[in-house]
Amino acid sequence: MKSPLNPSTQFSAQRSSRLIYPSRRRFLMASAAALSGVMLSNCRQNLSSVDSSDSAESSANNASGSSDTLHVYTWSGYTDDEMINAFTEKTGIDVVVDLYDSNETMLARMQAGGGDAYSVIYPSEYMVQEMIELNMLTEIDHDRLSNYGDIFFDQWQDPAYDPGNAHSIPFSWGTTGLLYNKAQLSDPVQDWQYLWEHQDELSNRMTLLDDMRETIGAVLKSLGYSINSTDPEALEEAYQRLRDLTPAIANFQSFGFEDQILGGDLLMVMSYSSDAIPVTLENEDLDYIVPESGASLWTDTIVIPKTAPNVDAAYEWINFLLDSEVAKTSVENLYFATPIKPAYDQLSDELKQNEDLFPPESVLAQCEGLAPVDDATELYERYWTQLTSA
């Protein structure tokens, strides 16, 4: 193991000054050669809508469980070369990163045995619950986390999805809402209802997330239901309402919309806050809102699967990311909110006061975290298949 360096100092010194940073939900199309080294997720020109399952399979097939290599399975935009280089300099551990586009993709790969390479995974809160029920996660030994303690805001000290953070460590959070061009729309955008009320104006110039739970959940909120409703009548009503909108939707798209909305081809996109914020900073005509009737309030976490081949390296990685300077720089680079109080305290006033990044309590009160819907999953999937295959 190499002599420890100050990871936060190195990470901050190498931080990119580019305005547009990698998306939380985008894929990175990597060649086989790239997979043999460190994947870069901060090069916008390398991003693609191509599924990353091939790269994940390549990594899994070549896993060795070596003590000097850590395999990470995560969303795009949650690592970059500066972060990885700083970690390797500090620990001597090389990092190989593979990417997935949805919690469901990740779960399917893990259940099929294709994820045995990975010692660290980044599931969202509802998926943590599912993976706990499936007995897929290692119980976290908090004594091995040097930075663990009262570092999290209260809502992440004992979260409902994982009491006591017994199986997961909170990493990031944000909202889901609407990114739109206020200069080209006739009326102010305040709620999801705008999509239906201005369907003709938005026709073929709006996109919704290619995410079953997020998109159906948004329609449920627009109708006054919980984002996690399992009521068959509520789900049918949401399905019918979304079907009415489908002819006007240009695409179900979770990533890659930036150039289209900056260029004026799209007027409205459903987006995660971490994707929307850097776009609003590039063009003052673009705004992001959390609809008044409410939306998703997501948390992404770090877990160690029971099949992890390198648990020691996983704890090194988690300790590194819990460093307040590293967490602070991640916020500055990637525009997701941090649950770590010391990191938040070090942010500039400009970032703290950015209500897209850190919404006021009045907005958060209208939001819900996604939760497992158990037996209703089959109904969600059936409706989603009918909508997206039409």
Strands (E), the chain: 27-28, 47-48, 69-74, 94-99, 120-121, 169-181, 206-208, 251-252, 268-272, 286-289, 297-302
CA-wise closest residue to 80 among 313, 332, 346, 283: 332
Q: What residues have CB less than 8 Å from 103, skipping those under 6 apart? A: 123, 124, 126, 127
Q: Which residues pair with 297 in a beta bridge?
A: 175
Please tell me the number of Cα atoms within 13 Å of 184 on its side-chain side: 19
Cα pseudo-dihedral 212, 214, 215, 218, rounded to 10 = 140
CA–CA gap between residue 348 and residue 357 (Å, rounded): 12
Domains of the chain, with CATH numbers?
Answer: 7-173+299-352 (3.40.190.10), 175-297+360-388 (3.40.190.10)
Q: Provide φ and ψ at 233, rounded to 5°.
A: -70, -40
Q: What residues have CB less than 8 Å from 95, skipping those under 6 apart? A: 38, 69, 70, 71, 72, 79, 84, 87, 88, 317
What are the pLDDT tens digits along the chain (390 aa)? 332 233 333 333 332 332 333 444 333 333 222 322 333 333 322 222 234 444 444 444 444 456 789 999 998 778 888 889 999 999 999 999 999 888 888 999 999 999 999 999 999 999 999 999 999 999 999 999 988 888 999 999 999 999 999 999 999 999 999 999 999 998 999 999 999 999 999 999 999 998 899 999 999 999 999 999 999 999 999 999 999 999 999 999 888 899 999 999 999 999 999 889 999 999 999 999 999 999 999 999 999 999 999 999 999 999 999 999 999 999 998 889 999 999 999 999 999 999 999 999 999 999 999 999 999 999 999 999 999 987
Rounded to two decimals, the pTM is: 0.81
Q: How many CB atoms lie within 10 A of CB 3?
A: 7
Q: What is the DSSP letter of 250?
A: S
Whole-angstrom Cα Rg for the chain: 20
List the structure tokens of 162: 């994982």
The DSSP-derived string for 68-130 is TEEEEEE-TTS--HHHHHHHHHHH--EEEEEE-SSHHHHHHHHHTTTTTT-SEE--BHHHHHH
Q: What is the DSSP letter of 53?
A: H
Locate tokens 């992890």: which residue?
A: 308
